Amino acid sequence: MDSLSLSLIVLLAGSLLTLWLLESRRRRLARRLAYQQRRFDNVFNGVGLSLFLFDLSALPPFLQRNGIADQKALDDWLTGNPLRQHELVQQVQIIDANPLALQLFGASSVADLQRLMQRDPDLRKTGARYQLILAVLEQRPLLELNTIVQRLDGAIRYVWMVMRLPARVSDYRAVPLSLSDITERRKAEKAIKERERFWASVVKAVPDVVFVRDVRNNQFSFSNRPLAEVLGYSEEEIARLPPNYRDDMLHPDDLEYMQANRNMLHTLVADQVLEWRVRWQHKTEGWHWFNLRARVLSRFSDGRVKQVIGVVRDVTQQTRDNERLEASEQRYRLLAENITDVIWSTDPHFQLDYISPSVVHQLGYQPEQLIREGFVSVVADERYRLFMADLLRELAPQVKDAKASLRLRQEGMRRQITFDCIRADGHKCPIEMRISLMWGPLGEFLGLLGIARDISEQRRTENRLRMAATVFENTTGAIVVTDPAGYIVQVNANFTQITGYSAEDVIDQQPDMFIVDEYSPGFYRNLQQTLLKEGRWEGEVWYRRRSGEAFPSWSGINAVYDHEGDLVSYVSFFVDVSERKASEARIESLAYYDPLTGLPNRTLFQDRINSALQLAARRQEWVVVLFMDLDRFKPINDTLGHAAGDVMLKQVAQRLRQCVRESDTVARMGGDEFTLLLSGIRGREEAMSTSVHVAEKVLAALTPAFILQEREFFISASIGIALYPQDDQDAESLLKHADTAMYHAKDIGKNNFQFFQRDMNDRALERLALENDLRRALLDNAFTLHYQPQFDCLEGRLVGAEALLRWQHPQRGAVSPAVFVPIAEEIGLIGALGDWVLDTACRQLADWHAAGQKLPRLAINLSGRQFIEGGLVEQVAAALQRHAINPQWIELELTESILLDDVVGTMRTLRRLNALGVSIAVDDFGTGYSSLSYLKDFPIDTLKIDRSFIAPIDQDGADARLVEAIIALGRSLRLRVIAEGVETQAQLQRLCELDCDEVQGFYLGHPLPAERFFAVALSGP
């Protein structure tokens, strides 16, 4: 064989050997792989955990494509793409799950798990899917999570999730994840926590202090509440207390005792309870007693005490109750030994075994004697013996029977009898005996308990009470009897008649049920102190009837004491004084209040201003007094009647009340005068501003119309203001100053207010003197009439005269009518003065005609007061008749304002005057309303152009054109036109050019006395 063949054989043999070796290795690897697969399957399926294999390889590319690089970017993407969240979830694929995993979720296949994972598209930050994606995003090697999952059937399970991520992203195709079902453990933990919370709340709710104390370091390791809380301190106060506050607040006498018991805690043996009592200082209630109980909670390994558990209980009330119980027992012992009643008892066999020592005082027998012989030996009749025989016969079988005994105990059987006893001295005495049954704590019958009382005094008292009852029921007032505690025990029939309450309504109630609620505690304290000091009290009390109506009464209360000086009861009487109070109120109202407006009158105002000034002086305050008088009220009152005037005054009062504070006073001084008092003002500036404010409010309040008799009327007011202490110190002076300022307000045009100034007093005194002189002049006939001639403008002949009133004062000289006529109107003299002028002028005209001096016409001025007061037509007719005057010789002059004050009344009066035959002239035409309608409707004969238009007539200005228009108007209405105040030739010439009918003025002739009139007037202008 050649070498080539050998080489091929060797090569073939080598290849076969290699193949054999490779096959052998493959078989070993296959066996090893199968072993590892079986081992993996055993581990995957047999382990006690729910295992999953996830394919997360698609998740990182998805995150990268969507620009999600961190948690914030992930959260922003989820928020901005709510509809794409399912795409993100789809990148997480479950490729395998062991049976426990399928069982955990109630799934039958991995596909079910995949659908379950994708069922809810919303990713929650606390959820497992979100945390898994976040772990991949942050490439965390380990994810451990306690979370909640939902099964396919909707049930919730608690799981512990663990996932380990491979270091390389390429290994994300098979990522294991394990879930441990911890639902039962969570339930157990929850139950434990709930039990812990329950017992913690129980311990917390315990009112006592429960504590655990480390004995070695003397520190508290537990306490359900601080001791300071029990001592009344708040949480904030407790936080500020020092650590050793328990010792600081301990009673000084208990410090050593407390330390001794603390030391004894070290020596406690098993189950031994150490108990002691100490006192701690309460924040507000003084010293409190506390009971402490402690026992061993734990020990060190060497047996020494490590911790003790204890309870601190406040036993203050219990201690006090025990003390009261001991005191009560002592009192009962003393009571039984010292009471005047005889107390006795029997044993269960009804044999006497005790009689109190009081029997010696009551009957004169020794207790031992009666125990031996029984009460039968001392009774005076058979009633007691028969009573006791019947009672014992009834009780003997019942107290031995359980059911009957129970019934007796529940019903509380009691018997009572009254009989006569023979005292040891042989005298009879009436005895009242009460018998009850005694029972032991277990319900066993102990015997009879009896109380015997001498009722001799009671019988005498009953006789006295019968007599008192007769008086009680027949007295005219109400009587109420209360016990010492104030509870009503008896009332008489008149009480029911007065209050409407029956005896059943008030018995066992306190009197405050029918006393009004307006009395302060101080009232009752003073009443009680008076009763304690004097034994009686009397005064006015307001009660309330059953209907709710309150009424005043005059009441008296008497304390009733027994012969030993102990308070027995209170007896109260009262009578209804409603009628008397109402009468007093009516009298007071008449005395202090204006009956028309209900405002305080002058008397009450004086009282209030004096009180206000005294208070202001003490407090250094200011007081304001406003004096107000209504403007033009008298014409309305006189025209419409007093009833309409009263209505207006009431409305004015209502409006004034609304202009001031509740503390201020509005008063009616009389007539149409009102005053306002403003007090409690600090400083001059405030006084000035308040005065102005109130005065302006008053003027504004009076501006709206007043409706009287279905018509509108307007008034205003003049107000004077005086200030304390600036203007004066006393009430009278302040009122006088305010009145003076008010008159000054009237003088300057009315409908305004003025502050008092010192120079006003001088003017006021001057005015007052002038008023007095004016009254005297009227009485003394000191007035005269002067006559100013009136001429025909074209022919210059005398056509008439105007009668003008003049007053020559003996000291003042000639007083202008412009000064005294307004005063006469204000003080009510204008009517009398007008009558005098009318009569004097008519008499003078008659004298002239009788002397052959014929005056064609005499003009006489009328005032508005003459129209308002009424009777003007009758006065004119009487004067004409009295002096035999032809009515055509008389012309009556009145102003435009008179015509329009009361159109209907004035129209009626003018028509009646016109019917008499006198002519009517309108004076000062052009200065008032100048209404064309009244020129058409009123029976007017003459227009007198006011002198204010005549003075500038020669200047050919607006006044000249007005005069020309008035003259033209008069001619068109067929009225005579006369111009007054002609003082120059130019004025006369211009009037003649304008075709004025008549003229009058100083240029033509001054007003002259009657004796000189014709001598001058007939000489011509």
**Are the C-beta atoms of 625 and 734 separated by less than 8 Å?**
yes
The answer to whether 47-189 and 783-1018 have equal CATH topology is no
Query: Which long-range contacts does 300-304 make (Cβ < 8 Å, 24+ apart)?
Result: 304/266
Token output for 266: 């070290």
CB 478 within 8 A of CB 491: yes
> Is pLDDT of 336 > 50?
yes
* Nearest residue to 908 via CA among 862, 863, 873: 873
Q: What is the 3-state secondary structure (H, E, C) of 102-153?
A: HHHHCCCCHHHHHHHHHHCCCCCCCCHHHHHHHHHHHCCCEEEEEEEEECCC
Burial, 21: exposed, middle or buried (Cβ in 10 Å; 0-12, 13-18, 19+)? exposed
Distance CA 121, CA 245 (A): 62
Structure confidence by residue, pLDDT tens digits, 713-741 = 889 999 999 999 988 999 999 999 999 89
> For residues 943 and 976, is the Cβ–Cβ distance under 8 A?
yes
Q: For residues 539 and 573, what is the distance between their CA atoms, to the nearest angstrom? A: 11
Mean pLDDT of 236-263: 88
As its CATH architecture, domain 593-756 has: 2-Layer Sandwich (3.30)
| Domain 783-1018: homologous superfamily in CATH | EAL domain (3.20.20.450)
Does position 429 have pLDDT exceeding 60, yes or no? yes
What are φ and ψ of residue 401, in 5° steps?
-95, 130
pLDDT at 22 over 80: no
In this predicted structure, the answer to whether residue 614 has a pLDDT above a threshold of 90 is yes
Residue 982: φ, ψ to 5°: -80, 120
Segment 899-951, tens digit of pLDDT: 666 677 778 888 888 889 999 998 877 665 555 666 777 788 898 888 888 88
Q: The sheet that has 550-561: what strands, in order across it? A: 488-491, 478-482, 567-576, 550-561, 536-544
pLDDT at 43 exceeding the cut of 50:
no
End-to-end CA distance of the chain: give it in Å, rounded.
199
Nearest to 513 by CA among 538, 476, 480, 535: 480
Quick one: DSSP state of residue 379? B
Torsion of CA 506, 512, 513, 516, to 10 degrees: 140
Q: Report whether pLDDT(391) > 80.
A: yes
Give 301: exposed, middle or buried? Use CB within 10 Å, 0-12, 13-18, 19+. Answer: exposed
Q: For 481-498, how does the pLDDT look when each residue is reduced to its tens digit (9 = 90+)?
A: 988 888 998 888 888 888
Nearest to 700 by CA among 692, 708, 710: 692
Q: Over 80: is that where the pLDDT of 61 sits?
A: yes
Residue 274 CA neighbour count, 13 Å, CB half:
19
The average confidence (pLDDT) of the chain is 84
Q: What percent of the chain has pLDDT over 90?
A: 19
Of the candidates 660, 641, 655, the one whose C-alpha atom is nearest the C-alpha of residue 716 is 655
For the domain made up of 206-319, give the CATH fold: Beta-Lactamase (3.30.450)
Residues 6+ apart with CB under 8 A from 398: 404, 405, 407, 408
pLDDT of 192: 75
Record the tokens describing residue 221, joined without a space: 């390791």
User: Are the C-beta atoms of residues 910 and 939 closer than 8 Å to each other?
Assistant: yes
- Across the beta sheet with 352-355, the strand order is 352-355, 342-346, 445-454, 428-439, 414-422
> Could you read off the pLDDT of 747-793 as tens digits, one per residue?
888 899 999 887 655 565 667 777 788 888 888 888 899 999 999 98
* CB burial readout 219-251, b (16+ within 10 A) else e: eeeebbbbbbebbebeeeeeeebeeebbeebbe
Q: Is 795 a residue whose pLDDT tops 50? A: yes
pLDDT-derived band at 412 (thresholds 50, 70, 90) equals: confident
- The confidence band for 585, taking pLDDT boundaries of 50, 70 and 90, is low
Which residues are paired to 280 by β-bridges? Answer: 250, 288
| Residue 54 CB-half CA count within 13 A | 27
How far apart are the C-alpha atoms of 62 and 413, rounded to whole Å? 98
pLDDT at 36: 55
Average pLDDT over residues 390-415: 86
Which helix (DSSP H) or strand (DSSP E) does residue 180 occupy?
Answer: strand 175-181
Give how far Cα 308 sits from Cα of 289, 297, 387, 546, Å. 22, 5, 67, 67
The yes or no reply on domain 47-189 and CATH 3.30.300.30 is no
pLDDT of residue 332: 65
What's CA 501's distance to the chain center, in Å? 32
Q: Hunting for tokens 């304690």 — which residue is that?
A: 532
Q: CATH homologous superfamily of domain 475-580?
A: PAS domain (3.30.450.20)
Predicted TM-score (pTM) of the model is 0.37
What residue spans define the domains of the chain? 1-43, 47-189, 206-319, 337-459, 475-580, 593-756, 783-1018
Among 58, 51, 153, 169, CA closest to 110: 51
Rounded to whole angstroms, the Cα distance separating 306 from 298 reads: 5
Residue with tokens 């010192």: 758
The phi and psi torsions of 689 (rounded to 5 degrees) equal -65, -40
Query: Which pLDDT does position 38 carry in this prediction?
Result: 55
Q: State what percent of residues in the chain have pLDDT above 70.
A: 90
Helix, strand, or coil here: 440? coil
pLDDT at 375: 80
Supply the DSSP symbol for 816: P
Spatial CB neighbours of 1006, under 8 Å, sequence gap ≥ 6: 788
Give tens-digit pLDDT for 650-692. 999 999 999 999 999 999 998 899 999 999 999 888 988 899 9
Are 967 and 994 in contact by the 8 Å Cβ rule? The answer is yes
For 266-323, the pLDDT digits (tens) are 888 888 889 999 999 998 988 999 999 999 888 888 888 889 889 899 888 888 878 7
DSSP 969: H
**Beta-bridge partners for 515:** 543
Which pLDDT tens digit goes with each residue over 969-993?
A: 888 888 899 999 899 888 888 888 8
Rounded distance between C-alpha atoms, residue 766 and residue 241, angstroms: 85
CA angle, 491 as apex, 485 and 497 as ends, to 5°?
140
Calculate the alpha carbon distances from 337 to 329, 332, 363, 373, 747 in Å.
12, 8, 15, 21, 99
Burial of 1009 (0-12, 13-18, 19+ CB in 10 A): exposed
Given this model, what pLDDT does residue 827 score? 76
In the numeric block, the tokens 């029990």 are attached to 230
Q: Give the mean model confidence (pLDDT) for residues 408-428.
A: 86
Q: Tokens at residue 605, please?
A: 């105002």
Q: What is the C-alpha separation between 278 and 297, in angstroms, rounded? A: 23
**Is 60 exceeded by the pLDDT of residue 696?**
yes
CATH of 337-459, one of 3.30.450.20, 3.90.1200.10, 3.40.50.620, 3.40.50.410: 3.30.450.20
User: Residues 6 or more apart from 505 whose CB is under 8 A from it?
Assistant: 546
How are beta strands 478-482 and 445-454 bridged, if at all?
unpaired
Phi first, then psi: give them for residue 886, nearest 5 degrees. -70, 125
pLDDT band for 340, please (50, 70, 90 cuts): confident
pLDDT, tens digit, for every residue of 539-571? 888 888 888 888 888 888 888 888 777 888 888
pLDDT at 701 over 90: yes
Is residue 316 a contact partner of residue 208, using CB atoms and an 8 Å limit? no
Spatial contact of 703 and 636, defined as CB atoms under 8 Å apart: no
Structure tokens at 606: 């004086």
